[in-house]
Amino acid sequence: MRKEHDFLGEMEIPDEVYYGVQTLRAVQNFHITGERVDPDFIVSMAMVKKAAARANMKTGRLPVRIGRALVQAADEIINGQWADQFPSDPIQGGAGTSVNMNMNEVLCNRALEILGEQKGRYDLISPNNHANMSQSTNDTFPTSMKVCVIRKSSRLTGALEQMAQELDRKAEEFKNVVKMGRTHLQDAVPITLGEEMASYASAVRRGKRRIEQSLAEAHKINMGGTAVGTGLNAEPQYIREVAAELSQVTGSGFFTAANLVDATNNTDIFADVSAALKVTALVLIKMANDFRLMSSGPRCGLNEVKLPARQPGSSIMPGKVNPVIAEVLDQACYQVIGNDLVINMGVENGQFELNVMEPVIAFNLFHSMEYMTRGVNTFTALLLKDLQANEKQCNYWVEHSVGIITALLPHVGYEQAAMTAKEAYLTGRPVREIILEKKLLSPDQIGVILEPSEMTHPGIAGKKAMAGCRW
């Protein structure tokens, strides 16, 4: 064991660990989620610390020997080492100071080791004086959040694009499958299953664009603002350099915010991102529920599509198969919507020059991005790819629907069409049969008008064939 101290006193730290006294206090203080800090966030903060060390070396303030050791330690964390050295709960008091100091301690103790010194020799390399040079938790934590959100967003938008591409393929595969369109859950007019798939693809891509657009402000950082945005203890050259260094380290463009005080005390950018996730979640829920409805039955429901069977559906009803993949996407998206409320509360509850609720904002936002990414990937891989159309059943519903009367309206008039629809509802007879019985149209004429290709495209169904017809 080694002894470390802060101004609150002395604590014993196991020799093998790289964190120190402030991390241990956080572990003792905060037992909220039972989880650890998000691995992507750890990597993101290591990137921020690497950029800060490089910028401080450029100003001449950080000795090169120490700076290079800190950069090497940061690189090791970025490459996946020492992930077990970040034990603190992600929801914590202190605006994220525990996470920041945890990172500083690990960096310093590993840097000491690299230079051949013993862990805990903070008189040589200090978590506060060296790893945290020109910084505060109040600029490193939100900047690390932004880096993390951008990193996670690439996986999420990639997943959404894959989903859209699979929907495109299904749109092509099902382009000739005519089915009933429905409004108010009632029969409307025919549409192709391909057109429905294409509409889902369009909506998913809109969600992707919405998320991408929400991230624009995430590239503006408050590094160099230090405690309250005034830049105290950060040299002007450092402030100019650190954003450029972070851009180089991450491969994404980062820029110093025009108003560092604003960028330090306001966290509305995270509400923007969460809002984009929430609205996209609403789109995904609607789509997933459409699939559940289309697959309902199979004997006593719509049975228009066949979802791949992924598990037995009941512990008591033999042979039952449930739409579990659509259901799990719904639930993942519900969680995103719930998280959005927490994020909004956190953003709202900042006071004066700092929002101390950043840990809970980060926790929920990171979870939202992960849940949506995994939910989308699951839906694409386990439902969409093996989705089948039940063309026979789709045709049956079209043929037995009263909704097709809408296609006949321009040729027989609204009043006649309405009376025909009423009779069809009352008698249960097909619209086609009643029209022919009343000799409102000939078999050839009605055959053309009710041709699926005529009913599922813009224009008057059968217009050319019916030229000169008057009702």
Angle between helix axes 39-59 and 358-379 (nearest 10 degrees) is 130
d(CA 280, CA 209): 10
Q: Kindly give the residue spans of alpha helices, DSSP state H, lying in 136-235.
A: 137-173, 193-214
Q: Cβ–Cβ contacts within 10 Å for residue 74, how many?
A: 28
d(CA 182, CA 461): 19
Q: What is the pLDDT of residue 347?
A: 97
Q: What is the pLDDT of residue 401?
A: 83
The residues assigned a catalytic role are 314
Tokens 């512990």 sit on residue: 315
Which residues make Cβ contacts (< 8 Å) with residue 282, sequence separation at least 6?
Answer: 333, 337
Contact (CB, 8 A) for 38 and 366:
yes
Q: What is the pLDDT of residue 471?
A: 43
Express the helix, strand and coil content of the chain in percent, nearest 5 each.
60, 5, 35
d(CA 246, CA 215): 17
| Residue type, position 343, single letter | I
Contact (CB, 8 A) for 295 and 376:
no
Angle between helix axes 358-379 and 324-348 (nearest 10 degrees) is 160
**Cα 53 to the center of its chain, rounded Å:** 32
Angle between helix axes 137-173 and 193-214 (nearest 10 degrees) is 170
Contact (CB, 8 A) for 236 and 328:
no
Q: Cβ–Cβ contacts within 10 Å for residue 378, how many?
A: 17
Which residues make Cβ contacts (< 8 Å) with residue 183, sequence separation at least 6?
Answer: none
Q: What is the pLDDT along the chain (471 residues), one digit of tens a residue?
A: 898 888 888 899 999 999 999 999 999 999 999 999 999 999 999 999 999 999 999 999 999 999 999 999 999 999 999 999 999 999 999 999 999 999 999 999 999 999 999 999 999 999 999 999 999 999 999 999 999 999 999 999 999 999 999 999 999 999 999 999 999 999 989 999 999 999 999 999 999 999 999 999 999 999 999 999 999 999 999 999 999 999 999 999 999 999 999 999 999 999 999 999 999 999 999 999 999 999 999 999 999 999 999 998 888 888 889 999 999 999 999 999 999 999 999 999 989 999 999 999 999 999 999 999 999 999 999 999 999 999 999 999 998 887 777 888 788 888 888 888 888 889 988 888 888 888 888 888 888 887 766 777 788 877 766 665 544
Q: If residue 218 lies in a helix (H) or strand (E), which one and from where to where? A: none
List the domains of the chain with CATH numbers: 2-133 (1.10.275.10), 149-392 (1.20.200.10), 402-455 (1.10.40.30)
The candidate with the shortest Cα–Cα distance to 395, out of 455, 439, 444, is: 455
In this structure, what token pair is assigned to residue 259?
Answer: 């108003």
**CA dist 403 to 417, 433, 456, 467, Å?**
10, 14, 13, 23
**CA dist 134 to 45, 226, 344, Å?**
15, 7, 30
As a whole number of Å, the CA-based R_g of the chain is 31
In this structure, what token pair is assigned to residue 459?
Answer: 């224009």
Work out the angle at residue 468's Cα, subtended by the Cα atoms of residues 466 and 471, and round it to the nearest 5 degrees.
Answer: 85
d(CA 180, CA 173): 18
122 Ramachandran zone, left/alpha/beta (phi>0; psi -120 to 50): alpha
In this structure, what token pair is assigned to residue 346?
Answer: 């956190």
Phi, psi angle pair for 266, to nearest 5°: -115, 140
